[in-house]
Amino acid sequence: MERELEIRRRLREAGQEQLLRFWDELGSGERDSLLRELELLDARELREHCRRAQDAYVRESGAPQRLDHSMSPVPTEFLGSVRRSPPGELSAWEDEGYRQISQNKVAVLLLAGGQGTRLGVTYPKGMYRVGLPSRKTLYQIQAERILRVQQLAAEKYSTRCTVPWYIMTSEFTLNPTQKFFEEHKFFGIDQADVIMFEQRMLPAVGFDGKAILERKDKVAMAPDGNGGLYRALADNRILEDMEARGISYIHVYCVDNILVKMADPVFVGFCVSKGADCGAKVVEKSYPLEPVGVVCQVDGIYQVVEYSEVSPETAEKRNPDDSLTYNAGNICNHFFTLDFLKHVAGTSEQELGYHVAIKKVPYVDDEGNLVKPVRPNGIKMEKFVFDVFQFAKNFVAFEVVREEEFSPLKNADTADKDTATTARRSLLWQHYRWALKAGAKFTDANGRAKAEDSGDPEVEEPPAVCEISPLISYFGEGLDVHLSNKDLSSPFILDVQRV
């Protein structure tokens, strides 16, 4: 009884008494479950959260704020590029990156707390198979890239080394992710080097400022966005773990990019060589009005400006060489020093604002019936991982080639882009190009060579299906010995057990 009275007192203080409106209808187990959930919600924080959500919704309903007159592009001296930087510089950065990896100073951190709603699955995105001949999941592909980059660094510097894999999950993804990794024996990575932790959850809020009940005995909750990383690092003592392992540099990325180069030596080496405390990989925008955020400066402060915050005239602005002025498309792929993350988690995180996501949130109506709304009815508040750029003392950006490093899986195959089909095609096109470069030739059923054309993974399949295991090649290296002067038939899989 005391426990219940304390919760009721908190909810009154927060103005959220409606969360117990079905109390008399609940069994003892349901009551206990609801109380345990509500005990995690501080009254003051709940009141502020719901007020903030409602105020943000009102602001969001108005005209978007334009930042055109405050913007300036990333200065050239703080921008590296796979296409434009001299080969000697790229090679030196790669050597530096491998050196840091060989000294056990580099970790990767995966953002994997999202629910995959747009993809239409009920399990974590990392467990998704996009239809590769090998049937590998995103998690397996990423694990094998970690193993391979460790091997390359160890061979280059004649040592043994480890790249720890930190995985931020949420209430929705932690248990299934843990179980999946255990079932697959952590894909060959030492279990001690795979560290999973959970980000915070926040109540979904109705347009009236009231927290939503998902069931009679459960509040509708959602992860606090990938920017919840910084609070989660502190809550779970992850920074202390990194320090104990001797980690200095952390590469952060999202689970859904099938082409991601975890612990990319070139990117890490570039950032370290520039003395950066914070860095971002970017890709050239496909066209001026592409709906992606742009990494730039606003009043001299680095941030990601969303496409809705820029007029078409600014988006189409060009330099004297006819390149787009605001061309650094954000792909949620970042570099941080451990000291920078300590600073953010310790003090600056509290300064980060929330972003509004208007969603369809299932709820129970006043009669206790479950309703699945056909129109958005709720507000989810999120922080974004890139909102910390503003705190960097030395920020850099590194431009990479989209077709080599960025193909996200976000939508079901009924969508036009960023689907399982486009992700699979992107990877197979990449491996096809690697094989040709290594000297392979693909033949048809009659032994005739196939045309060696290039294409768009958004709309067409490669001329031949070729899948190369990350355990064989991290990024196209070392394939000559396997493929030079070889006639290959499609589909072709190059994996460790086939070598």
Of 95, 384, 397, whose CA–CA distance to 276 is shortest?
397
Alpha helices in 103-206 (DSSP H): 138-157, 174-183
Contact 128, 136 (CB under 8 A): no
> Is residue 353's pLDDT more than 90?
no
Q: What is the C-alpha separation between 246 and 248, in angstroms, rounded?
A: 6
Q: How many CB atoms lie within 10 A of CB 85?
A: 17
Supply the DSSP symbol for 19. Answer: G
Residue ranges of the chain assigned to CATH 3.90.550.10: 68-405
Phi, psi (deg, nearest 5) at residue 34: -65, -40
Confidence of residue 448 (pLDDT cuts 50, 70, 90): low
> Which ranges in the chain are annotated with CATH 2.10.10.100?
437-498
Write the CATH number of the domain with boundaries 437-498.
2.10.10.100
Q: Do residues 112 and 283 lie in contact, with contact meaning Cβ atoms separated by under 8 Å?
A: no
Residue 134: per-residue pLDDT: 97
pLDDT confidence of residue 252:
98
Q: Of the candidates 120, 86, 389, 129, which has an alpha carbon nearest to the alpha carbon of residue 266? A: 86
Task: Check: pTM over 0.95? Answer yes or no.
Answer: no
Q: Tokens representing 53? A: 């959500």
For residue 6, is pLDDT > 70? Answer: yes
Per-position DSSP letters for 191-245, written without gaps between them:
GGGEEEEE--EEE-EETTSPBPEEETTEE-EEE--GGGHHHHHHHTTHHHHHHHH
Q: Which residue has the tokens 């055109």?
A: 68
60 band by pLDDT with thresholds 50, 70 and 90: confident
- CA neighbor of 393 nearest in space, from 449, 456, 348, 326: 348
Residues 117 and 478: their CA atoms lie apart, in Å, by 39
Cα–Cα distance, 267 to 261 (Å, whole number) = 9
75-106 residue pLDDT tens? 999 999 999 999 999 999 999 999 999 999 99
Quickly state the pLDDT bin for 197 (edges 50, 70, 90): very high
**90 near 266, Cβ under 8 Å?**
yes
**Which of 199-208, 370-379, 443-452, 466-475 is predicted least confidently?**
443-452
Please state, in angstroms and rounded to a whole number, the distance separating the CA atoms of residues 191 and 182.
9
Taking the C-alpha atoms of residue 253 and residue 324, their distance in angstroms, rounded to an integer, is 26
The backbone torsions φ and ψ at residue 465, rounded to the nearest 5 degrees and listed phi first, read -90, 120
The percentage of residues in the chain with a pLDDT greater than 90, rounded to a whole number, is: 85
381 forms beta bridges with 356
Single-letter residue type at 296 = C
**CA distance linking residue 170 with residue 168, whole number of Å:** 7
Q: Choose between 350 and 11: higher pLDDT.
A: 11
- For residues 169 and 226, give the distance between their C-alpha atoms in angstroms, rounded to a whole number: 10
For the segment(s) 68-405, the CATH number from 3.40.50.150, 3.40.50.620, 2.40.128.50, 3.90.550.10 is: 3.90.550.10
> Model confidence at 350, in pLDDT bands (50, 70, 90)?
confident
Task: Kindly indicate the confidence band of residue 454, based on its pLDDT and cuts at 50, 70 and 90.
Answer: low
pLDDT at residue 59 is higher than 90: no
Predicted local confidence at residue 442, as pLDDT: 93
Cβ atoms 447, 457 nearer than 8 A: no
Which residues partner with 71 through β-bridges? 298
